[in-house]
Amino acid sequence: MIQLIGRDAKGIVALVAPHVDRPFRARQVARWILHRGAASFQEMTDLPLGLRQALGERFSLREPDLVEEQPSTDGSRKYLFALADGATVEAVAMPADDKVTMCLSTQTGCAVGCTFCVTGALGGGRDLKADEIVGQYRAMGRRLTSEAGRVNIVFMGMGEPLLNTSHLGRALDALFETVSPKRITVSTSGIIPGIRWLGTLARRPKLAVSLNAPEQELRARIMPITRRYPLDKLMAEVRRFPLERGRRITFEYVLIRDLNDDEEQADQLARLLRGLPCKVNLIPLNEDPLHLPGMERPSAEVVDRFAVRLRDSGRTVTVRWSKGGDVAAACGQLKGRHQLQPDL
């Protein structure tokens, strides 16, 4: 069967048009999928019953299967999805006021190997296809309709998005049908060819770069990808990235106790970012003693001093105390592995 999830309106219409009696029927199907979130052709009540049945025999609207939903005490929710081949991934929804931020995954693991990230510690996996990426958004949206007055999407879940550009590009085209590019952020560990690719798109999401150290040697220690894409070349590529009016690049900086959290390093970071339209998102480490032994979160006082030092240099700084830590849904904690609880 031909999968229609993960395609934009033009793609859906092109596939469906030869199998409907009137051209406007194909557009109706696209609207049902993209704007109404239809999970079956039987929901498309303004189509004749026979046509709905015929389309259901030829086309698929399959989404990842929801295996488990874990609510956090702070209101966020982690979702474990099973894919058609048995692989599993996790995604997170974080409601706040009248909006919800959905953190989507792009791979079933991560081969980049950042030493502060549980997903990286568990190793690589395969790329997700466009329908598997968009399917996470659809499945979570269906469960959050009463809370999602406005949706933001961040590609900060499992995997390195810019190592999966072919499927990510198609997923973005589908998501742009209902979510503004201004409300979608793609985060990368610093994949230079991927950043270059992102800059060529006619419609671009926002770019976030996971930096985490202000100089090459330390960054290479905690982010091995730096050996392939050195910090100086990464920063040169970021400075060439085309920004729309009013946009800034986000630099994410995970603060790790006694490793990258002193005031001198804050000064180095400020110098590294000088002249760039950007903001810095400080993320105190989300600890996981089992998978990240020896790595600890700095004290709140150290985090505050680092933030103040950066602000005093003229940088825009936010501190993100991650949500969902009690259900291992915080930044860097996604495992995508379903562990059965033993019988008591």
Residue 225's nearest CA partner among 256, 196, 189, 250 is 189
Structure tokens at 261: 């959290």
At CB < 8 A and 24+ separation, what contacts does 314-317 make? 314/270, 315/269, 315/270, 315/273, 315/278, 315/279, 315/280, 316/248, 316/278, 316/279, 316/280, 317/279, 317/280, 317/282
Residue 333's nearest CA partner among 131, 100, 80 is 80
Structure tokens at 200: 């060529």
Residue 123's nearest CA partner among 114, 113, 131 is 113
Tell me the C-alpha distance between 78 and 80, whole Å. 7
- Cα radius of gyration (the chain): 21
Residue 132's nearest CA partner among 113, 101, 157 is 157
Measure Cα distances from 160 to 68, 164, 304 in Å.
Answer: 23, 7, 29
Sequence-separated (6 or more) residues with CB below 8 Å from residue 7: 15, 130, 170, 173, 174
* CA neighbours closer than 13 Å in the CB half-sphere of residue 264: 3
114 in the Ramachandran plot: left (φ > 0), alpha (ψ -120 to 50) or beta?
beta
Which among 103, 114, 117, 331 is annotated as catalytic? 331
Is 278 among the catalytic positions? no
Contact 7, 170 (CB under 8 A): yes
Which among 63, 90, 237, 287 is annotated as catalytic? 90
Is 90 among the catalytic positions? yes
Write out the E strands in 220-267. Answer: 249-255
Nearest 5 degrees, angle CA 155-CA 72-CA 256? 60
Q: Taking each helix axis from N to C terminus, what angle separates 165-175 and 130-143, rounded to the nearest 10 degrees?
A: 40
Residues forming the active site: 90, 331
